[in-house]
Amino acid sequence: MMPQQLKIFAALMALGLPTFGLNAAPIEKQVDAVIDDVISWRRDFHQYAELSNREFRTARIIAEHLRSLDMDVTTGVAKTGVVGVLKGGLPGPVLALRADMDGLPVVEKTGLPYASTQRSEYEGREVGVMHACGHDNHMAILMGAAEILAGMRKQLPGTIKFIFQPAEEGAPKGEEGGAKLMIDEGVLDNPSVDAIIGLHISQGSKVGTASYRALGFMASAQRFDIHIQGKQTHGARPWAGVDPIVVGAQIINGLQTIVSRQIDITQHPAVVTVGSFTAGVRNNIVPASAQLTGTIRTFDANVRQSIHQKIRAIAEQTAASMGAVATVEIDPGVPVTFNDAQLTKQMVPTLERVYGERAVFESPRVTGAEDFSFFQEQVPGFFFFIGARPAELSPAQAIPNHSPYFYVDEGALAPAVRAMTELAVDYLSSTTASR
C-alpha cells in the first residue's frame, strides 16, 4: 500500500471497518447518549413550527448547534437554510445529508402536551402552523447524527455537508424557495457534493422499519391554479349574470374524469386533486369570480404533459360553454424522486444492519412528492422512509402526513439517528476504499 492508503486503512480500522462496513456497537452507544437531546429538539421544533421561508427561529437553533460542533456554518441559504460542513481527518468523497425544516398551514388537533399553537399568515389568510409532515423529526435526527459524526471527524475519510433545507412544502405563491433555490445558490458546490442522502418519517409502516425503492420512488408534483371569471349578479336573479361557482363545480367534475377515464392507470399511476375552491362573500350575491387550486402527481413525463393539456382544455372549454372565462396556471413543480440504482444497492445493506433484514422492505411507488428530487437531478441520491406508526395500531388506523392528527412514535428516532450516521460512515469509507 501507498502511505496515504495505509492512513485510510488505519482510520477505517479505527472506526471498526476492516475494509468497509461498520461495527455498529460504538455508534449505538453514542446514539443512546444523544437521544434525549434529539427528542427535546424534536418537541421544541414541533411546538414552535414555522411556515416555508419563515423558519427563522428554527434556523437559529440549528446553526447554533452546528457551530457548537466546530463546523463551518453558512446561514441564510435560500432565505432561511442552514449548511454545516464537517471536514474529516482524511481525504475522501463529499457526502450531503439533508433534512427539511418547514411546517404546514394546519391547525394541530393531536392534543399532545407540546402541540403547536402557532399562528401565521399564508397567502393572505391567518392559519395555524403545525409540523404535520414530520419535518421536526427530520431536523432533530440530522442534528443528532451531526453530533455523533463530529465526534469521529479525525477518522472520517472525506467530508460531510449537512443541509437543513427550508420550504420543502413549497414557497408561498410569488416567492422562490426550497431545494431548487439552494442549488441555484451553490449548496452542492465548494466542496462539490458526490452524493446525497435524505429520509422521511410516516405512519405508513410501523416503528422500527425502513423502506426504499430504487429508481422512481415518489411522484412528480405540480400545483395548478384556475381563475374563473363570471358576471356578478343578485342571488335571486342568477340568470342576469354568469355564476363562477357553478362553472367551477362543473370544472371539478370534469377534472375527475382525467384519471378515471383518460389515463391507463394500470401502466401510469396518476392523481389530479382539487385542494381549494374559493368564491364569494355573501349568501345572496353571485360573485364575479372563483378560484380553484390543486395538485397533479405523475411518474411519467409524457403522462404529465398530457394531464396538463387536459386540465387546460377542460377548464377553458367548460367555462366557455357556460359564458365564463377560465385561466389556467400550472407551475413547474418538482420532478420524480429518483433513487440512483448503484447508490441504493450500496446503502441498503446499512439499513438492513440497523433495522434488521426483515424490517427493511422495498416500497411501492408513493404518490407523495419531495423536492429532494432536485438534488437527485444534480448528484446521485438515496431517499428512504422510516416507519413511525405505533406498534399497537393497524395499517388501517395509520394517520397520514398532513393530517391535523398526525403524530409519530418517538421510538423511531433512535434507529433513524443511527441509520443516518452509519449511512454516512459507510458511504465515505466504502467509496474511499474502492477508489
Which one from 136, 147, 168, 194 is the annotated catalytic residue? 168
pLDDT digits (tens, 9 = 90+) for 236-257: 999 999 999 999 999 999 999 9
Beta bridge mates, 231: 242
Question: What integer pLDDT is reported at residue 250 of this predicted model?
Answer: 98
Confirm whether 102 is a catalytic residue. Answer: yes
Q: Is the CATH code 3.40.630.10 the one for domain 3-216+336-434?
A: yes
399 pLDDT exceeds 90? yes
**pLDDT bucket at 433, cuts 50 / 70 / 90:** confident
Taken in order 242, 245, 247, 250, is the CA torsion positive or negative?
negative
Residue 265's contacts (CB-CB under 8 Å, 6 or more residues apart) are 259
CATH number of the domain located at residue range(s) 220-330 in this protein: 3.30.70.360
**pLDDT bucket at 25, cuts 50 / 70 / 90:** low
Q: 3-216+336-434 with 220-330: one CATH topology?
A: no
**What would the mean pLDDT of 34-63 be, rounded to a whole number?**
98
> Is 137 in contact with 413 (CB distance < 8 Å)?
yes
The mean of the pLDDT values for the chain is 94
Which one, of 164, 152, 155, lies nearest residue 84 by Cα? Answer: 164
Cell (9 digits) for 393: 395500531
Which one from 102, 169, 300, 409 is the annotated catalytic residue? 102
pLDDT digits (tens, 9 = 90+) for 58-84: 999 999 999 999 999 999 999 999 999
Strands 81-87 and 72-77: antiparallel
Question: What integer pLDDT is reported at residue 432 of this predicted model?
Answer: 83
Cell (9 digits) for 90: 482524511
381 pLDDT exceeds 70? yes
Distances (CA, A) of 411 to 38, 162, 390: 11, 23, 9
Would you kindly state where each structural domain of the chain is located, as residue ranges? 3-216+336-434, 220-330
19 pLDDT exceeds 90? no
3-state secondary structure of 86: strand
> Is 334 in contact with 342 (CB distance < 8 Å)?
no
